[in-house]
Protein backbone atom coordinates (compact mmCIF):
# COMPACT_ATOMS: atom_id res chain seq x y z
CA UNK A 1 0.00 0.00 0.00
CA UNK A 2 1.50 3.30 -1.08
CA UNK A 3 -1.37 5.76 -0.62
CA UNK A 4 -0.57 9.25 0.60
CA UNK A 5 -3.50 11.56 1.40
CA UNK A 6 -2.86 14.97 -0.17
CA UNK A 7 -5.23 17.51 1.37
CA UNK A 8 -5.41 20.50 -0.99
CA UNK A 9 -3.87 18.40 -3.77
CA UNK A 10 -5.97 20.04 -6.50
CA UNK A 11 -4.17 23.34 -5.90
CA UNK A 12 -0.95 24.72 -7.26
CA UNK A 13 1.79 23.24 -5.04
CA UNK A 14 -0.30 20.20 -4.13
CA UNK A 15 -0.81 19.10 -7.73
CA UNK A 16 2.92 19.37 -8.49
CA UNK A 17 3.60 17.32 -5.37
CA UNK A 18 1.18 14.63 -6.61
CA UNK A 19 3.18 14.50 -9.85
CA UNK A 20 6.39 14.01 -7.86
CA UNK A 21 4.86 11.39 -5.53
CA UNK A 22 3.50 9.43 -8.48
CA UNK A 23 6.91 9.48 -10.19
CA UNK A 24 8.44 8.00 -7.05
CA UNK A 25 5.98 5.12 -6.74
CA UNK A 26 3.30 6.54 -4.41
CA UNK A 27 -0.42 6.95 -5.06
CA UNK A 28 -1.51 10.48 -4.19
CA UNK A 29 -5.12 10.52 -2.99
CA UNK A 30 -6.34 14.09 -3.33
CA UNK A 31 -8.81 15.44 -0.76
CA UNK A 32 -9.92 18.93 -1.80
CA UNK A 33 -13.07 21.05 -1.60
CA UNK A 34 -12.14 22.69 -4.95
CA UNK A 35 -12.63 26.15 -3.42
CA UNK A 36 -9.43 27.24 -5.13
CA UNK A 37 -8.30 23.98 -6.74
CA UNK A 38 -8.99 22.42 -10.13
CA UNK A 39 -10.34 18.93 -10.71
CA UNK A 40 -8.33 18.79 -13.97
CA UNK A 41 -5.09 19.17 -11.95
CA UNK A 42 -5.75 15.79 -10.32
CA UNK A 43 -4.07 13.45 -12.80
CA UNK A 44 -1.91 11.09 -10.78
CA UNK A 45 -4.39 9.46 -8.39
CA UNK A 46 -8.02 9.62 -7.24
CA UNK A 47 -9.86 12.83 -6.32
CA UNK A 48 -12.12 12.82 -3.28
CA UNK A 49 -14.03 16.06 -3.05
CA UNK A 50 -14.43 17.10 0.58
CA UNK A 51 -13.68 19.75 3.14
CA UNK A 52 -11.12 19.34 5.92
CA UNK A 53 -13.69 20.81 8.32
CA UNK A 54 -16.02 17.87 7.56
CA UNK A 55 -15.03 15.13 9.98
CA UNK A 56 -17.44 12.50 8.62
CA UNK A 57 -16.14 12.92 5.07
CA UNK A 58 -12.55 12.70 6.28
CA UNK A 59 -13.32 9.52 8.25
CA UNK A 60 -14.83 7.91 5.12
CA UNK A 61 -11.88 8.77 2.90
CA UNK A 62 -9.24 7.73 5.44
CA UNK A 63 -11.03 4.40 5.97
CA UNK A 64 -11.27 3.82 2.21
CA UNK A 65 -7.61 4.50 1.32
CA UNK A 66 -5.71 3.86 4.60
CA UNK A 67 -2.91 6.27 3.69
CA UNK A 68 0.58 5.87 5.11
CA UNK A 69 0.82 9.60 5.81
CA UNK A 70 -0.85 12.93 5.04
CA UNK A 71 0.50 15.95 3.20
CA UNK A 72 -1.56 18.97 4.14
CA UNK A 73 -1.79 21.92 1.73
CA UNK A 74 -5.47 22.79 2.25
CA UNK A 75 -5.74 26.40 3.39
CA UNK A 76 -6.89 29.88 2.54
CA UNK A 77 -3.74 31.58 1.32
CA UNK A 78 -4.12 35.32 0.77
CA UNK A 79 -2.43 37.73 3.16
CA UNK A 80 -4.65 40.69 2.16
CA UNK A 81 -7.89 38.73 2.55
CA UNK A 82 -6.71 37.47 5.94
CA UNK A 83 -6.40 41.10 7.08
CA UNK A 84 -9.98 41.78 5.98
CA UNK A 85 -11.52 38.56 7.30
CA UNK A 86 -9.26 36.94 9.92
CA UNK A 87 -12.03 34.72 11.32
CA UNK A 88 -12.35 32.88 8.01
CA UNK A 89 -8.60 32.19 8.06
CA UNK A 90 -8.61 30.82 11.60
CA UNK A 91 -11.67 28.71 10.79
CA UNK A 92 -10.27 27.16 7.63
CA UNK A 93 -6.57 26.99 8.45
CA UNK A 94 -6.64 26.28 12.19
CA UNK A 95 -10.02 24.69 12.96
CA UNK A 96 -9.89 22.76 9.66
CA UNK A 97 -6.44 21.45 10.48
CA UNK A 98 -7.52 20.38 13.97
CA UNK A 99 -10.39 18.38 12.40
CA UNK A 100 -7.97 16.80 9.95
CA UNK A 101 -5.53 15.91 12.74
CA UNK A 102 -8.30 14.42 14.91
CA UNK A 103 -9.49 12.30 11.98
CA UNK A 104 -5.92 11.18 11.25
CA UNK A 105 -5.35 10.14 14.85
CA UNK A 106 -8.66 8.26 14.96
CA UNK A 107 -7.60 6.41 11.79
CA UNK A 108 -4.24 5.47 13.33
CA UNK A 109 -2.19 7.82 11.14
CA UNK A 110 0.62 9.57 13.00
CA UNK A 111 2.63 11.32 10.29
CA UNK A 112 1.97 14.60 8.50
CA UNK A 113 3.82 17.00 6.25
CA UNK A 114 2.46 20.50 6.75
CA UNK A 115 2.59 23.52 4.39
CA UNK A 116 3.80 26.40 6.48
CA UNK A 117 5.29 29.62 5.29
CA UNK A 118 8.05 32.16 5.71
CA UNK A 119 5.18 34.51 6.66
CA UNK A 120 5.41 32.95 10.15
CA UNK A 121 8.69 34.84 10.65
CA UNK A 122 7.26 38.32 10.17
CA UNK A 123 9.78 41.14 9.79
CA UNK A 124 13.27 39.63 9.53
CA UNK A 125 15.90 40.61 12.08
CA UNK A 126 18.58 38.88 10.00
CA UNK A 127 18.86 37.70 6.36
CA UNK A 128 19.00 34.90 5.36
CA UNK A 129 16.60 33.55 7.95
CA UNK A 130 17.20 30.16 9.49
CA UNK A 131 14.58 28.09 11.30
CA UNK A 132 15.58 29.54 14.69
CA UNK A 133 14.64 33.05 13.57
CA UNK A 134 11.90 34.45 15.86
CA UNK A 135 8.41 33.70 14.57
CA UNK A 136 6.33 36.87 14.87
CA UNK A 137 3.85 36.91 11.99
CA UNK A 138 2.46 40.28 11.00
CA UNK A 139 -0.84 39.11 9.51
CA UNK A 140 -3.60 36.61 10.40
CA UNK A 141 -2.59 34.29 7.54
CA UNK A 142 0.92 33.87 8.96
CA UNK A 143 -0.46 33.59 12.49
CA UNK A 144 -2.88 30.83 11.44
CA UNK A 145 0.09 28.83 10.11
CA UNK A 146 2.13 29.43 13.29
CA UNK A 147 -0.81 28.23 15.41
CA UNK A 148 -0.85 24.96 13.48
CA UNK A 149 2.93 24.64 13.90
CA UNK A 150 2.44 24.98 17.69
CA UNK A 151 -0.31 22.36 17.67
CA UNK A 152 1.93 19.96 15.73
CA UNK A 153 4.80 20.50 18.20
CA UNK A 154 2.44 19.63 21.07
CA UNK A 155 1.13 16.51 19.31
CA UNK A 156 4.70 15.33 18.84
CA UNK A 157 5.78 16.13 22.40
CA UNK A 158 2.71 14.62 24.06
CA UNK A 159 1.66 11.81 21.70
CA UNK A 160 4.53 11.03 19.34
CA UNK A 161 2.56 12.28 16.33
CA UNK A 162 5.37 13.21 13.94
CA UNK A 163 5.40 16.05 11.47
CA UNK A 164 7.62 17.78 8.98
CA UNK A 165 6.73 21.47 8.85
CA UNK A 166 7.84 22.98 5.55
CA UNK A 167 8.13 26.76 5.51
CA UNK A 168 8.03 27.76 1.87
CA UNK A 169 9.31 31.04 0.65
CA UNK A 170 7.75 32.18 -2.69
CA UNK A 171 6.55 29.22 -4.74
CA UNK A 172 6.79 29.85 -8.48
CA UNK A 173 7.19 28.14 -11.87
CA UNK A 174 5.26 25.23 -13.35
CA UNK A 175 5.49 21.70 -14.69
CA UNK A 176 7.86 22.01 -17.72
CA UNK A 177 5.49 19.81 -19.74
CA UNK A 178 2.73 22.37 -19.18
CA UNK A 179 0.19 19.92 -17.70
CA UNK A 180 -0.38 21.96 -14.51
CA UNK A 181 0.66 25.39 -13.30
CA UNK A 182 -0.10 28.32 -11.02
CA UNK A 183 -3.81 29.16 -11.15
CA UNK A 184 -5.14 31.08 -8.17
CA UNK A 185 -8.39 33.06 -8.22
CA UNK A 186 -7.93 35.87 -7.54
CA UNK A 187 -4.23 35.90 -8.37
CA UNK A 188 -2.10 37.84 -5.89
CA UNK A 189 1.35 36.44 -6.71
CA UNK A 190 3.90 38.61 -8.50
CA UNK A 191 4.98 36.31 -11.34
CA UNK A 192 1.54 35.39 -12.76
CA UNK A 193 0.48 39.03 -12.43
CA UNK A 194 3.58 40.16 -14.38
CA UNK A 195 2.91 37.49 -17.03
CA UNK A 196 -0.68 38.69 -17.31
CA UNK A 197 0.57 42.25 -17.81
CA UNK A 198 2.92 41.09 -20.54
CA UNK A 199 0.01 39.31 -22.27
CA UNK A 200 -2.15 42.44 -22.09
CA UNK A 201 -4.59 40.72 -19.72
CA UNK A 202 -3.86 43.41 -17.12
CA UNK A 203 -3.19 47.05 -17.94
CA UNK A 204 0.03 47.18 -15.91
CA UNK A 205 2.08 45.66 -13.07
CA UNK A 206 1.93 47.55 -9.78
CA UNK A 207 5.10 47.52 -7.63
CA UNK A 208 3.83 47.64 -4.04
CA UNK A 209 6.30 49.83 -2.19
CA UNK A 210 9.43 51.56 -3.45
CA UNK A 211 10.80 52.86 -0.14
CA UNK A 212 11.87 49.64 1.56
CA UNK A 213 15.45 49.48 2.86
CA UNK A 214 16.50 47.11 0.10
CA UNK A 215 18.97 47.56 -2.78
CA UNK A 216 16.40 49.19 -5.07
CA UNK A 217 13.57 50.04 -2.65
CA UNK A 218 11.25 47.20 -3.71
CA UNK A 219 10.60 44.08 -1.60
CA UNK A 220 13.07 41.19 -1.70
CA UNK A 221 11.69 37.69 -2.10
CA UNK A 222 13.15 34.19 -2.48
CA UNK A 223 11.47 32.49 -5.46
CA UNK A 224 11.65 28.70 -5.32
CA UNK A 225 10.57 26.42 -8.15
CA UNK A 226 7.41 24.44 -7.42
CA UNK A 227 9.15 21.26 -8.71
CA UNK A 228 11.82 21.73 -6.04
CA UNK A 229 9.07 22.17 -3.44
CA UNK A 230 7.34 19.03 -4.71
CA UNK A 231 10.56 17.03 -4.38
CA UNK A 232 10.95 18.26 -0.78
CA UNK A 233 7.49 16.93 0.12
CA UNK A 234 8.24 13.43 -1.10
CA UNK A 235 11.54 13.54 0.78
CA UNK A 236 9.70 14.73 3.90
CA UNK A 237 7.22 11.85 3.66
CA UNK A 238 10.09 9.38 3.25
CA UNK A 239 11.85 10.94 6.25
CA UNK A 240 8.75 10.25 8.37
CA UNK A 241 8.22 6.76 6.92
CA UNK A 242 11.79 5.84 7.84
CA UNK A 243 11.19 6.98 11.44
CA UNK A 244 12.86 10.38 11.10
CA UNK A 245 11.97 12.81 13.86
CA UNK A 246 9.76 15.88 13.63
CA UNK A 247 11.34 19.01 12.25
CA UNK A 248 10.62 22.39 10.66
CA UNK A 249 12.53 23.22 7.48
CA UNK A 250 12.86 26.31 5.33
CA UNK A 251 12.32 25.75 1.61
CA UNK A 252 13.89 28.55 -0.38
CA UNK A 253 16.86 29.00 -2.66
CA UNK A 254 18.87 31.26 -0.36
CA UNK A 255 18.95 33.95 -3.05
CA UNK A 256 16.91 37.12 -2.73
CA UNK A 257 15.48 38.87 -5.78
CA UNK A 258 13.89 42.32 -5.65
CA UNK A 259 10.54 42.81 -7.35
CA UNK A 260 12.21 45.17 -9.84
CA UNK A 261 14.90 42.56 -10.64
CA UNK A 262 12.15 39.97 -11.09
CA UNK A 263 10.40 42.21 -13.62
CA UNK A 264 13.67 42.51 -15.61
CA UNK A 265 13.89 38.71 -15.86
CA UNK A 266 10.22 38.46 -16.88
CA UNK A 267 10.74 41.06 -19.64
CA UNK A 268 13.84 39.23 -20.90
CA UNK A 269 12.26 35.74 -20.93
CA UNK A 270 8.95 36.87 -22.40
CA UNK A 271 10.60 39.28 -24.83
CA UNK A 272 7.95 41.95 -24.32
CA UNK A 273 7.76 45.15 -22.36
CA UNK A 274 4.75 46.11 -20.25
CA UNK A 275 3.73 49.06 -18.14
CA UNK A 276 4.92 49.21 -14.55
CA UNK A 277 3.33 51.51 -11.98
CA UNK A 278 4.78 52.30 -8.59
CA UNK A 279 2.43 52.39 -5.60
CA UNK A 280 2.51 52.41 -1.80
CA UNK A 281 3.42 49.47 0.41
CA UNK A 282 0.75 46.83 1.02
CA UNK A 283 -0.13 46.28 4.67
CA UNK A 284 1.16 42.95 5.96
CA UNK A 285 4.11 42.67 3.54
CA UNK A 286 7.58 42.03 4.92
CA UNK A 287 10.45 44.04 3.37
CA UNK A 288 12.65 41.01 2.69
CA UNK A 289 12.28 37.23 2.99
CA UNK A 290 15.24 35.01 2.08
CA UNK A 291 15.80 31.47 3.33
CA UNK A 292 18.80 29.86 4.91
CA UNK A 293 18.06 26.39 3.50
CA UNK A 294 20.97 24.45 4.98
CA UNK A 295 18.86 22.50 7.50
CA UNK A 296 16.72 21.03 4.69
CA UNK A 297 19.90 19.77 3.02
CA UNK A 298 21.17 18.21 6.23
CA UNK A 299 17.82 16.67 7.26
CA UNK A 300 16.18 15.44 4.04
CA UNK A 301 19.04 15.88 1.54
CA UNK A 302 17.13 18.64 -0.28
CA UNK A 303 18.62 21.33 -2.45
CA UNK A 304 17.18 23.35 -5.31
CA UNK A 305 17.80 22.40 -8.95
CA UNK A 306 15.95 25.19 -10.73
CA UNK A 307 16.94 28.86 -11.03
CA UNK A 308 14.89 31.99 -11.64
CA UNK A 309 15.18 31.67 -15.42
CA UNK A 310 13.71 28.18 -15.30
CA UNK A 311 10.96 29.47 -12.99
CA UNK A 312 9.93 32.23 -15.38
CA UNK A 313 10.28 30.06 -18.51
CA UNK A 314 8.07 27.27 -17.16
CA UNK A 315 5.58 29.73 -15.66
CA UNK A 316 5.40 31.57 -19.00
CA UNK A 317 4.82 28.37 -20.97
CA UNK A 318 1.94 27.40 -18.70
CA UNK A 319 0.51 30.86 -18.43
CA UNK A 320 0.52 31.77 -22.12
CA UNK A 321 -0.88 28.42 -23.29
CA UNK A 322 -3.27 27.29 -20.59
CA UNK A 323 -4.79 30.03 -18.52
CA UNK A 324 -8.11 31.47 -19.60
CA UNK A 325 -7.61 34.99 -21.01
Ligand X SMILES: NC(=O)c1ccc[n+]([C@@H]2O[C@H](COP(=O)([O-])OP(=O)(O)OC[C@H]3O[C@@H](n4cnc5c(N)ncnc54)[C@H](O)[C@@H]3O)[C@@H](O)[C@H]2O)c1
Chain contacts with ligand X (rule: CB under 6 A): 8, 10-14, 32-37, 51-53, 73-75, 77, 92, 96, 115, 117, 168, 170-171, 184
Q: What is the smallest separation between the CB atom of 144 and ligand X, expressed in angstroms? A: 9
**DSSP class of 209:** -
| Residue 120 or 258 having the CB closest to ligand X | 120
Q: What is the smallest separation between the CB atom of 266 and ligand X, expressed in angstroms? A: 17
Beta-carbon-side half-sphere exposure of residue 59 (alpha carbons within 13 Å): 5
Phi, psi at 166, each rounded to 5°: -110, 115
On whether the CB atoms of residues 240 and 166 are closer than 8 A, the answer is no
DSSP string, 28-76: EEEEE--SS--GGG--SS-EEE--TT-HHHHHHHHHHH--SEEEE--S-
Q: What is the smallest separation between the CB atom of 140 and ligand X, expressed in angstroms? A: 12
Q: Name the closest residue to ligand X (Cβ).
A: 11
One of 26, 141, 168, 212 is an active-site residue; which one? 141
| Residue 171 or 270 having the CB closest to ligand X | 171
Question: Parallel, antiparallel, or unpaired for β 257-258 and 220-221?
Answer: antiparallel
| Residue 77 or 248 having the CB closest to ligand X | 77
Question: Annotated catalytic, 212?
Answer: no
Strand ranges in 51-189 using DSSP code E only, listed in sequence order: 69-72, 111-117, 162-168, 170-172
Q: What is the smallest separation between the CB atom of 243 and ligand X, expressed in angstroms? A: 26
Plot region of 56 (φ>0 → left; ψ -120 to 50 → alpha; else → beta)? alpha
| Residue 10 or 300 having the CB closest to ligand X | 10
Q: Active-site residue numbers?
A: 141
Amino acid sequence: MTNILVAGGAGYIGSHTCLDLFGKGYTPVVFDNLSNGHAEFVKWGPLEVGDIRDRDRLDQVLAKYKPLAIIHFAAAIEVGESMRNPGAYYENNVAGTITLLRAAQAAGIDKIVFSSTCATYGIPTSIPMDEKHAQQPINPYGRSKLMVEDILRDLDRCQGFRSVILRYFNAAGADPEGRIGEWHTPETHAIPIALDASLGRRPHFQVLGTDYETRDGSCVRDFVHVLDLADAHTRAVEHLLSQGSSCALNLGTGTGTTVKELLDVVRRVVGKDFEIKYGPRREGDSPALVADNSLALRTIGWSTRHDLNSIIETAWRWHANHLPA
